Amino acid sequence: MKVAVFSTKAYDRRFLEAANTDHGHELVFFEPHLTSDTAILASDSPAVCAFVNDQLDENTLQALANQGTRLIALRSAGYNNVDLTAASKLGLTIVRVPAYSPYAVAEHTVGLILTLNRKIHRAYNRVREGNFSLDGLLGFDLHGRTVGIVGTGKIGVLVAQILKGFGCQLLAYDVHQNPECEALGAKYVKLPELFQASDIVTLHCPLTKDTYHLIDDQALAQMKQGVMLINTSRGALIDTNAVTEALKSRKIGYLGLDVYEKESDLFFEDLSEDVIQDDVFQRLLTFPNVLITGHQAFFTENALKNIAETTLSNITDIEQGNPCPNIVTPEQKIAA
Ligand code: NAI
C-alpha cells in the first residue's frame, strides 16, 4: 500500500525502511507535520502515517478523506491529537502502536527523578569547568520516600516496579486498579490523598477531557511543599502557568518534563539559531530546579524498532482485511 509518512526524521526512515523489507509497502517520506495545509502531500496515498504532533483535526481528516485516504497509522501510543469522532464519520480507520517499549518511558522517568534529585546535570557542567564544589548539589535518599503514580497502566506499573527497587513507598491513582501494581505493594488512594502524601508525583495517564490540566492551582495547593512533579505523559496534563507560579513560590521543589502543552511548535526540531517566541516555555527554562527533555522518553532503539514493525503490520492487516488488534475507536477515547 502507498503510505505517506509525515513528520519524518532520519531515524524514522531508517527503522521504517528496515521493517518494510517484510511488508513491501510503498513508503513516501515527508518532513513537514501533517496539518490541513500539508495534507495535499498525501494526495494519492490510501494510507497516512502520523506522529504525536501531527494535527489530525476535523479539517485535516476531511482533506485526507477527500483525497482518498482510508487509513491513518499512528506511530505512537497516544491518540489525543486525533478527532476520532470525525474520523469515524469520514470512514477513516485509525490504528496505533499501543505498546512499543513501556520500559523506555519508565526508565526515562526515573532518569529525570534521579537527575533532578542529585543534580547530575549541574554536576556534569561544574566538573567539566574544574569546579568541584558541592554547594547546591544536595539531594535526598529516594529510599523511604513516597511516590504517587497517577495512571498505572503499562508505563506506570513499570515505574512502580523500578521505584520499589529503590525502597520507595508507592501510592497509586487510576480509574481502573491494576492488580500488578497492588502486588508491588502500591496502595490505591483518591487523588487528593495521593497529592497530599507524595514527595514525588509522576504522571502516566493519557490526555483526555478528564485529565486535561489535571495538575492545576487546586491540585498544586494540595501537594507537599517542595514536591517533585514529573510528567513524561502528555503536556496538557499540566497547566503550565499554574506550575510556573508554584515554582516561583517554591511549592514545587523540582519539575521534570518530557512533554509540554505547546510542544508541537518546538520539539523534535533544532531551534538553536532561532529566537523562541514561547515566553511560558522560556520562563520554565530559567528555574534551576527544572529539567526538560524534548519528548525523548520513547527514544530507544528497541522502541523505534517496535514502532516501525507494529505500524507496518497494522497497515498490512488492514490492507489484507485481517483482524487488527490496534484499531482506535471513538468509544476508546471516552473510556481512556
Ligand atoms: P496505558 O493505556 O497502558 O495506561 C494508562 C493508564 O491511565 C490506564 O491504566 C488508565 O486506566 C489510566 N487512566 C485513564 N484515565 C485516567 C484518569 N482520568 N485518571 C487516572 N488514570 C487514568 O498507557 P501507557 O502505555 O502506560 O502510556 C501512558 C501515557 O504515556 C500515554 O497515554 C502517553 O500519553 C504517554 N507516553 C509518552 C511517551 C513519551 O515519549 N514521553 C511515549 C509513550 C507514551
Its CATH class, for the domain covering 102-292, is alpha beta
Is 150 touching ligand 1 by the criterion CB < 6 Å?
yes
CATH code of domain 2-100+300-335? 3.40.50.720
| Cα distance between residue 75 and residue 307, in whole Å | 6
pLDDT for residue 303 is more than 70:
yes
| Ligand 1 pocket, residue 295 CB under 6 Å | yes
Q: Is the CB of 336 under 6 A from ligand 1?
A: yes
Q: Which atom of ligand 1 is nearest to the CA of 155?
A: 26
Query: What is the C-alpha separation between 66 and 86, in angstroms, rounded?
Result: 13
pLDDT exceeds cutoff 70 at 215:
yes
Q: What integer pLDDT is reported at residue 333 of this predicted model?
A: 53
Output the CA 275–ligand 1 centroid distance in Å.
Answer: 33
Q: Which atom of ligand 1 is nearest to the CA of 234?
A: 34
pLDDT of residue 332: 66
Closest atom of ligand 1 to CA, residue 156: 26
Residue 227: is its pLDDT beyond 50?
A: yes
- Nearest 5 degrees, angle CA 62-CA 262-CA 206? 75
Amino acid at 97: V
Q: Is the CB of 235 under 6 A from ligand 1?
A: no
* Domain 2-100+300-335 matches domain 102-292 at the CATH topology level: yes
Q: In 165-267, at which residue ranges do the beta strands (DSSP E only) sit?
A: 169-173, 187-188, 200-203, 227-231, 252-257
Residue 56 pairs in a beta bridge with 82
pTM of the predicted protein model: 0.93
Contact, 80 vs 208, CB < 8 A? yes
| Residue ranges per structural domain of the chain | 2-100+300-335, 102-292
Query: What percentage of the chain exceeds 90 in pLDDT?
Result: 95
Q: What is the DSSP string of 164-176?
A: HHTT-EEEEE-SS
- 112 membership: H or E segment, kind and range: helix 102-118
| Cβ pair 215, 242 in contact under 8 A | yes
List for the chain the helix, strand, coil content (%; round to 5): 40, 15, 45
Residue numbers annotated as active site: 234, 263, 295
Summarize pLDDT for 261-300 with one digit per residue, the tens.
999 889 999 999 999 999 999 999 999 999 999 999 999 9
pLDDT at 331: 73
For residues 67 and 48, is the Cβ–Cβ distance under 8 A?
no
With vertex at residue 100, the alpha carbon angle to CA 99 and CA 106, rounded to the nearest 5 degrees, is: 85
For residue 139, name the pLDDT band (cuts at 50, 70, 90): very high
